Structure 1
């Protein structure tokens, strides 16, 4: 990865936006640790396979939606926090969240702590 926070956030969003399972698996292998942990209000999973399955579930629930960065990330040490939106491309996202990524010494994502800020009824 190049500069943390933008590279970590870009790799994270690329992974979440990958609809092809092979592409998603490659992104997980390149940018996430093998035992990465992901926790948000709807999921608590560990490992690339479980994270990939959670991402696939989001694509099934929200077909055609994309994740985008909302605002600028903030980082210190090996941590970055940022807001993201989920919705149709080019419009105000109906779903907005806030995540904290922790990376290992090589810049790969090892922990994600996610929060949902706006979810439609």
Structure 2
């Protein structure tokens, strides 16, 4: 397992954390204070923005979990990886991939998300 594999495991765990206090603590430990996250349906900045976005995803997709969709491809301080959102053991409802970039302290500073499969109306 590479260093970035562990970072992406933590990243997915943040997205799966349903306890708001635990999620905020995990965000603070993994993401830069001024993190920038953008995907086709959202663009947020900072810990509070990211926490709010993740909370909204939990409301929209209750009971679903994020999992790795394949290996992490990383070099230097950037990685791309596929993720799935769905019920364990079932076909994912949403599939996407993200590109994450770390800052000089090793925390995630930027995330660029792309959605490959989603329910209509998302």
Shorter-chain-normalised TM-score: which range?
Answer: over 0.9
Normalising by structure 2, we get a TM-score of 0.94
How many residues were matched structurally? 120
RMSD: 1.2
Structure-to-structure mapping, 1:3-82, within 5 angstroms: 3-82=2-81
Question: Is the CA contact 1:68–1:86 (under 8 Å) kept in the aligned structure 2?
Answer: yes
Gaps of 5+ in 1: none
Q: Relative contact order, CA 8 A, sep 6+: which one is greater?
A: 1
Unaligned runs of 5+ in 2: none
TM-score scaled by structure 1?
A: 0.95
Q: For each residue in 1:17-76, what CA deviation from the matched residue of structure 2 results, as whole angstroms up to 9, or x when unmatched?
A: 000000100101111111000000010000000100000000000000000000101001
- Runs in 1 of length 4+ with deviation above 4 angstroms? none
Greater percentage in strand: 1
